[in-house]
Amino acid sequence: MKTAPIKTKVLTANRLSDGISVWLGANGEWVFSIKDAFLARHEEAVVAIEAAGKQALDDNRVVDVNVIDVEETASGPRPFRLRERIRAEGPTIDYAPASPARVSQAA
C-alpha cells in the first residue's frame, strides 16, 4: 500500500531509572544518540514506533514518550523544534566542564 509522504519522525523518551534522554533505535532498543534512532518515513512506521513507545511505557522502561518530527541531514536526524535539538545534543552551555557524564547501561 502506498501512503502519502510525511515528515520523518523518531520516537523519544526519558529512561525511567535515571531520566536520561533516549531514542528508539532500529533494533528496537533504546539508544543514547538521536543519530542511532529509527527513522519513521511513512505512516505504518509511525504507527509501529508509537506502539513500541506505548509498550515501553507499559513495561516501565521509559517515561514521557513522544514522537517528534525530524529533518534528515548528512549528519543524521535533526529535530525541527529547538527543544528537541537541545534534548538530543544536551545543554548548549558549557556546564560543569570537568565532570564526566554518567550515562551508562541500556534501558
Partner 1 sequence: MYRYDEFDHAFVAQRVSQFRDQVERRLTGEISEDAFKPLRLMNGVYLQLHAYMLRVAVPYGTLNSRQMRKLAHIARTYDRGYGHFTTRQNIQYNWPALKDMPAILEELAEVEMHAIQTSGNCIRNVTADHFAGAAADEVADPRPYAEILRQWSSVHPEFSFLPRKFKIAVTASERDRAAIQVHDIGLQLKKDEEGRLGFAVWIGGGQGRTPILAKKVKDFLPEADLLSYVTAIMRVYNLHGRRDNKYKARIKILVHETGVETLSAEIEAEWSHLKDGELKLPAADIAAINAYFAPKALDSRAEGWAELAAWKKSDPDFASWVGRNVAPHRHPDYGMVTISLKPIGGIPGDASADQMDAVARLAEEFGHDEIRVTHEQNLVLPHVALADLEPLYRALLAEGLATANAGLITDIIACPGLDYCALANARSIPVAQEISSRFGDPARQAEIGDLKIKISGCINACGHHHVGHIGILGVEKKGAELYQISLGGSGDENASIGQITGRGFEPDQVTDAIETIVDTYLAQRTGTAETFIECYRRIGAVPFKAALYGSEAQAA
Which region among 12-20, 27-35, 37-45, 46-54 touches partner 1 (by CB under 8 A)? 12-20
Q: Does 14 bind partner 1 (CB under 8 A)?
A: yes
| 71 touches partner 1 (CB under 8 A) | no
Q: In this structure, what C-alpha cell is assigned to residue 45?
A: 512506521
Show the site string, 26-55: x = touches partner 1 by CB under 8 A, - = not.
Answer: ------------------------------
DSSP per-residue string spanning 22-36: EEEBTTSSEES-GGG
The alpha carbon of residue 45 and the mean position of all alpha carbons in its chain are separated, in whole angstroms, by: 14
